[in-house]
Structure 1
Amino acid sequence: MPNNTPYSLPKNSKSWQLALDSVSSLLPTGISSADLDALQSLPIFALIVVLPSTSASPVLNVHEYVQAWVDDQPNWALVTVTDDATAERLPIPIADTSTNNGAEQARSITPVSVHRYLLIPTTGALMHPEKKSAAAHIIDEQLTTRLRQKLTEQVNQTADTASTHAEVVDCHILSIGHMLRPHKLACFDMDSTLIEQEVIDELAKAAGIGEAVATITESAMRGEIEFDESFAKRLALLEGLSTDVLDDICGQLTLSRGAKFTLAALKALGYHTVLVSGGFTYFAKHIAAQLGIDEVHANNLDIDSGEVTGYVQMPIVNGERKAMLTAKIAERLGIEMTQVVCIGDGANDLPMMTTADLGIAYQAKPIVQSRADAAINVTGLEGVLYALGYPAPQDSSL
């Protein structure tokens, strides 16, 4: 049972800036640590390792294995990022117990250790953005493989039978610019991101056609069929469904672990938050109200005489529209796209994630994880804060 101790969150953390300043001599002549545009052309990476710290998890000397990897690479330096003790800190309270059946999950977050490093070349060479992205993916794959292998070895030394721990560590390899640039807008997908369910699948279960609709949903989220086509097919199958079940479904939806905590933290940090969903406004507004989200964009559910008609109301909030809405909201608020963070799990989230400064995949399909800037697998939604460069709560009982 989580206690009510607040998470002390640094409001304007200088941790990454201080780490970079400590190795400023490695920067090319004429480039300072405050020049974000110039830093984007350098292969300087934030390395964030997130490891569950439960009693069942073995103790892993992350720094030892990261340092060993760096020692094998010529011309790289590793700097440990420590929390800035002088930064103003915000207490983020644990959410109050709600009446929905996912309240306990919504209140708690995964106990983890978060290890933050700066990875910088000892020769300050410029690098094309595409080459820099490829380098990040290579580092990510090599380090993640090594850490997972070492963790599995430790588990197997204490277990009776061999175990496989494919998702026991998250490694985020991001441009240092993502850590230094202040973000102001966070856009979230809803289904399987802010909540654990796919609402259209829940509607289908109520209509007795759950398996047929779920099959289409999975195919769409894997990117095998276009979202508009899958949306129209699924909605047509719901024709005749009574609206009496809508409130029942709302009451059965469960917030993703850490959702309330994450949204509270982002709001405290001054973010404008948006729910942008390929689902339905009726349910999206219900979820947004629980989380204190600033605005909602989703599809209208066409209803006539107390029944779902199965007709599509245009325009459909598909991947392209999600990206367009994100850009429009940023423009309206006077926020640059370099200050936008987008979080989702499906293929239709990729367009908005790609246009944002930071696209984060949450418990996502493989195609989404491979294209996102960061992928969260071992925590709840609070992993977004770690991908943004923030430390773990000091009180792991949260």
Structure 2
Amino acid sequence: MPNNTSYSLPKDSKAWQQAVDSIASLLPNDTNLQDFDALQSLPVFALIVVLPNKVSTLDIHEYVQSWVDEQPNWHLVTVAEDADASFVDLVVSDTEPTAENAQRLPFTQSQVFRYLLVPVTDTLMHPAKKTAAAHIIDDQLTTRLRHDLAEAYKSETQANNDEVVDCHILSIGHMLRTHKLACFDMDSTLIEQEVIVELAKTAGIGEKVEAITEAAMRGEIDFDESFAQRVALLAGISTDVLDEICERLTLSMGARTTISALKALGYHTVLVSGGFTYFARYIAEQLGMDEVHANALDIEEGEVTGQVQLPIVNGAKKAAIVQHTAERLGIEMSQVVCIGDGANDLPMMGIADLGIAYHAKPIVQARADAAVNVTGLEGTLYALGYPAFALTK
């Protein structure tokens, strides 16, 4: 039987603003703390550290502070939980009973620690330099925490140090803005599979199509070319297998929780996929998303033709869809969040205020604003600045 679980999530937390207010004396005298664009020009960073609960509880503050103590140019300020925050309640139906299958919890229970990194000197910083600084800090601190945590847990078995901790180093403006539009890739983001690979497996050409898909996701070949190559290999597949494939698709860990939370928080949610509308609509319906954009699957006489219907939803088209959707809804691009895992997601992530890589290819993680690796898709919410879920059952 499905297991309905109720969650509480802060709707309108003032914690980040209160933290910024507390450092006013460290900022230039004429800084308007309510002007998010002005704050973007300052090298004030939000630092979010996420650890899955499978990692034993230690004083993570000590590890973070020890790194900061070695950086003479930075102060560390803890972002306190907002005791006055209003909460929204949401109910997520977990279709796989957790009592029988614990690893299929609707999200990865995590520990989330939030800080501000503030420069000792009140200086402005060019956006490009600020982005570079964020990546440098991210690399240094993540490497340090992974090393320290691995040492602390060396008596325990860790399959992969990359699964120990996520560090997000973001401009404080990302935390203070009210985002309204969230756009998600589907394959390997909202769902665990690549649909075109599932189609290929059915046709007995799985290895050929998967190799093309992986090369495209790594940015090694043009997406349009790879898409046409893969679709051509699907010619002759009967429509009878499409529903069977839908039934085989599994939602990513945390997908239901994430979409339910964003909807409760007032977001417009969009599925933007380089896959096919037949499957994308099915997944969007499962999650209760607001709209879907994907490629039509060309079918004649009950079989896939192998022909491509134009225009292909490639990286550029994904970005155009996001921009047009925001314009149609009267939403500024500074209020848009995009989440994906492949190279063809980079254009839409690049025009959004916040681009989040989810268990992504290295090229995507390197260029994203934040990269989620140690949690399910609910790590998106942590990268947006929300604290860990308050769970009630």
TM-score (norm 2): 0.96
Q: Which residue of 2 aligns with 1:50?
A: 50
CA offsets, 1:51-72, max 9 Å, x none?
A: 0112xx2333211111111111
Q: Secondary structure at the match of 1:73?
A: coil
Q: Which residue of 2 aligns with 1:134?
A: 132
Q: Which residue of 1 aligns with 2:36?
A: 36
Residue identity opposite 1:301 in structure 2:
L
Residue identity opposite 2:112 in structure 1:
V
CA offsets, 1:245-271, max 9 Å, x none?
A: 000000000000010000000000000
Q: Which residue of 1 aligns with 2:118?
A: 120
Q: Unaligned 5+ residue runs, structure 2?
A: none
Query: Aligned equivalents of 2:24 and 2:40: distance in 1?
Result: 15
Q: Which residue of 2 aligns with 1:68?
A: 66
Q: Which residue of 1 aligns with 2:21?
A: 21
Sort the Cα spacing of 1:180 and 1:220 in 2 relative to 1 into closer, same or farther, 3 A: same
Residue identity opposite 1:136 in structure 2:
A
Q: Secondary structure at the match of 2:48?
A: strand
CA offsets, 1:287-318, max 9 Å, x none?
A: 00000100000000000000000000000000
Q: Which residue of 2 aligns with 1:317?
A: 313
Shift in Å, 1:124? 1.2
Q: Which residue of 2 aligns with 1:257?
A: 253
Shift in Å, 1:166? 2.6
Counting matched residue pairs gives 390
Query: Aligned equivalents of 2:73 and 2:280: distance in 1?
Result: 49
Query: Aligned equivalents of 1:303 and 1:251: distance in 2?
Result: 20
Q: Is contact 1:152-1:163 (8 Å) kept?
A: no
- 5 Å-filtered alignment, 1:191-270, equals 191-270=187-266
Aligned sequence identity (%)? 70
Query: Aligned equivalents of 1:2 and 1:81: distance in 2?
Result: 36
Q: Which residue of 2 aligns with 1:8?
A: 8
Q: Secondary structure at the match of 2:182?
A: strand
Residue identity opposite 2:292 in structure 1:
V
- Which residue, out of 173, 177, 182, partners 1:177? 173
Q: Is contact 1:94-1:107 (8 Å) kept?
A: no
CA offsets, 1:59-109, max 9 Å, x none?
A: 33211111111111113111111121112111122225379xxx9877521
Q: Is contact 2:52-2:165 (8 Å) kept?
A: yes
Sort the Cα spacing of 1:5 and 1:298 in 2 relative to 1 into closer, same or farther, 3 A: closer
Query: Aligned equivalents of 1:162 and 1:292: distance in 2?
Result: 36
> Which range moves more in the overlay, 374-383 or 63-72?
63-72
Provide the alpha-carbon RMSD of the alignment.
1.9
- 5 Å-filtered alignment, 1:98-109, equals 108-109=106-107
Residue identity opposite 1:123 in structure 2:
T
Sort the Cα spacing of 1:272 and 1:164 in 2 relative to 1 into closer, same or farther, 3 A: closer
Q: Is contact 1:189-1:277 (8 Å) kept?
A: yes
TM-score (norm 1): 0.94
> Does 1:91 pair with 2:96?
no
Q: Secondary structure at the match of 1:194?
A: coil
Shift in Å, 1:123? 1.4
Structure 1 moving runs of 4+ over 3 Å? 1-5, 103-107, 161-164
Q: Is contact 1:106-1:259 (8 Å) kept?
A: no
Query: Aligned equivalents of 1:242 and 1:180: distance in 2?
Result: 50
Residue identity opposite 2:38 in structure 1:
A
Query: Aligned equivalents of 2:273 and 2:381: distance in 1?
Result: 21
CA offsets, 1:172-218, max 9 Å, x none?
A: 00000000000000000000000000000000000010000000000
Q: Unaligned 5+ residue runs, structure 1?
A: none
